[in-house]
Amino acid sequence: MTLAKEAGIDKKAAKAALVEHNDDYDAALASVKADTPADPAVAAEGDLSALSLENESSAINTTVSVVRVEVGDGSTFPAYGDTLQVEYKGTLEDGTEFDSSYLASRGAHVPFSFRIGMGKVIKGWDEAIMQMSLGEKAIIFVPASKAYGAQGAGDKVPPNSDLKFEVRLLKISRQTSCLGPGQHGGVQRKTHEYAELANQLLGRGPPSNLELRSPDERQQMPLTSEMPA
């Protein structure tokens, strides 16, 4: 095989390379290959691969995982607006406990109550505990994006912390429904929102954009002696 064909260059360039290296074929070939730029298609493929890896590493994790430890009744699940009682323990990725319903002075858990689906707790809890049935105990893995995010939570939870919770669902108190017994959840949520909007439009309820202030911030009414005659 000639140098021109093997190196992918024209005959004039091949001859010049051989002259430069005293007809040493291997040295001329090595010199030509060293001076030949890389295939742009291969280079582009490498750049795309690097970009793909970079994007993958910078992707935000939004997946909440629920691992069942002890089964519940398998049929009674929370619905939007229900008040729940749970006992729990929260830890960081390194196992450091940052919160718990366990009260050391009493040697027992003190149930924590909240209304689910209404943003009263971190988003990861609203999503995960909705999947648990009454009496169930589970391990919940919550990514930072659905926990305390970039701001963290005081000194206990650093910014961008993924969290692990051990949770037991103790009690479900159904939201009172105007639709009749058992009518709650998604239907109840939409009905509640529509009713609230209707009341605002008819002047029977405060508008949602009402600026609420504490009593200390409100302007006091004048005393009787200061009122105009």
Active site residues: 88, 98-99, 122, 148, 165
- For residues 126 and 61, the answer to whether their CB atoms sit within 8 Å is no
Beta strand 163-173 pairing with 83-92? antiparallel
Look at the block and give the residue holding tokens 């190196």: 7
In DSSP notation, 162-193 reads: -EEEEEEEEEEEPPP-TT-TT--THHHHHHHH
Task: For the chain, list the strands marked E by DSSP.
Answer: 65-70, 83-92, 97-100, 102-103, 108-109, 112-115, 137-142, 163-173
Give the residues across from 166 on adjacent strands.
89, 139
- Convert 188-208 to b/e letters by CB count within 10 Å (16 or more is b): bbeebeeeeeeeeeeeeeeee
Query: What are the CA-CA distances from residue 86 to residues 22, 46, 77, 134, 218 (Å)?
Result: 85, 51, 13, 10, 38
CA 123 and chain centroid, separation: 8
